[in-house]
Each structure stands twice: as structure tokens, then as C-alpha cells.
Amino acid sequence: MSKGPPTLRLDRLLANLGYGSRREIQALAKNGRITLDGEPFRDADKHVPVTRDLPERLKLDDKAIDPPPGLALMLHKPLGVTCSHKEAGPLVYDLLPTRWRMRDPAISTIGRLDKETSGLLLMTDDGALLHRVISPKSHVAKRYRVTLDRPLNGEEAGAFAAGGLMLDGETKPLLPATMETLSPTEAILTLSEGRYHQVRRMYAALGNHVTALHRDRIGGLSLPDDLPAGEFRLMSEADLAAIFAG
């Protein structure tokens, strides 16, 4: 017998998506505000199939519901916004719909960018995807556009490419990284690992100082030109595949 898609009680599904308590969902359903394939879905104890196309089928007040778990998005992180609750200032989570803060499973960032770094940041509620992207075994490279305080001295690309550079306070040398010079004070740096403040510390180790940092690519996935700072977009299957094809 073939196994159908996973199902979940409507009240639990919508409560997990942050639409309210199970009691509130029960009331919304009873009042005919929830429809499945255009028909009122009045009994919130009943199960619905949890498939990728559910948002097109299940509506609240005629509006598509949010994506079910398995959500993955790309955010154009602006400057001045933090990835961690431990740091002061507005959070990247504040750039998502408020309801999404109540989601279970919760959404988290796939890796982090510093408060003063902008660019491509991935977020998901899918733990397996998160681990796959950050796992060293996946070899997902990250590309940064770097602006420096002082002109490059010509030694940096070679020093990074050789690998073995030791960052302050660490015991394990860095893996090789690729650097392309754009101008005397600008470069593109591609890393295959992600250590704390890595780019800033790499240039600091060579006596320079990063004044601006922007990530424009993860694996083969580029930050879209038409995604303004502060906005996000759900990732398609093609976007997800691109991450691992870089």
C-alpha cells in the first residue's frame, strides 16, 4: 500500500505556523474563515495533508497560509541588524512576518553574518538542510566583497591561497582561500570554512582592517540583484540545488 503525504490536525498545523492557539484556530474554522480547495473546513480536529502546495490550497480569509515546515529563505541582510539574540540591536528575525516568530519548528539562520556585514543570509526551519549547508563535508563556499582601510600590499592573495594562516587565539590553521583584487582597497574573498569574524580577522592577521563587508554568494547561489536590503524571498528547489552546485 502506498503511503500518502503526512497529515496534521488543522488546529495543530495552524497553531504551529503561528496563527494563534489551537482554541483560536477552532473558532476560525467554525466561523468558516478557513477553506481547503475553496470549501469551508469547519472541523479543526480533522487532518489536512501537509504538502508543499498546501499554501495554494488552504486559505484563511481567502489568503494563502504560510509555507508549512521545510521553509527556506534568502534574506538580503542590511547593515546594523544582528543574527543573534545575544547581541544588542534589531534582529534579522524582525525582518520576517511577526507571526513567524511563533512557528514550531522555529526558523534559524544558516550560519551568521556580523552586525556590520550585509548580504546573503539563508534561514530555515529545516535542521537537516541547515547542517548540510554548514557541514565542511558539503564544501559550500562563501564569497565576500571586502573593502579595506589601507591599500593591499600584493602579498595577501598568496598568503590566503597557501592556507596555514593562524588566526589570533586559534590553534587550527586556516584552509586555503581565494582572493581576487578589484582595486587597491577592494577584493573578493572566497572561503570554504566559516569561523567567527573570519574575514575581518584574516585581514587583521596581515595588518590591515576591513571597513566594509558584503556576502554576495553561498555555493552557487548569488544574492539576486532585485532583492533589496531588508527583504527576503522563499527559496525554490532550484535555489536550494544551486547552493550545493557552487
Nearer to ligand URA, 32 or 196 (CB): 196
Nearer to ligand URA, 82 or 124 (CB): 82
Tell the smallest beta-carbon distance from residue 212 to ligand URA (Å). 11
Determine the Cα–Cα distance for residues 116 and 8; give it in Å rounded to an integer. Answer: 41
Residues carrying an active site annotation: 114
- Residue 16 near residue 69, CB atoms below 8 Å: yes
Nearer to ligand URA, 35 or 147 (CB): 147
Tell the smallest beta-carbon distance from residue 243 to ligand URA (Å). 17
Tell the smallest beta-carbon distance from residue 161 to ligand URA (Å). 18
Nearer to ligand URA, 24 or 193 (CB): 193
Please give the torsion angle defined by the CA atoms of residues 30, 32, 35 and 39, in that order, rounded to the nearest 10 degrees: 110
Task: Render the burial of 60-69: b for 16+ CB within 10 Å, e for the rest.
Answer: beeeebbbbb
Tell the smallest beta-carbon distance from residue 117 to ligand URA (Å). 3
- Residue 200 near residue 168, CB atoms below 8 Å: no
Determine the Cα–Cα distance for residues 141 and 89; give it in Å rounded to an integer. Answer: 28
Sheet holding 39-40, edge to edge: 39-40, 34-36, 58-60, 63-64
Tell the smallest beta-carbon distance from residue 208 to ligand URA (Å). 13
| Cβ atoms < 10 Å from Cβ of 77 | 28
| Cβ atoms < 10 Å from Cβ of 93 | 19
Determine the Cα–Cα distance for residues 129 and 126; give it in Å rounded to an integer. Answer: 5
* CA 205, 212, 85, 129 torsion-angle sign: negative
H helices present in 31-126, as ranges:
54-57
Contact footprint for ligand URA (CB under 6 A): 113-114, 117, 197-200, 213
Nearer to ligand URA, 101 or 209 (CB): 209
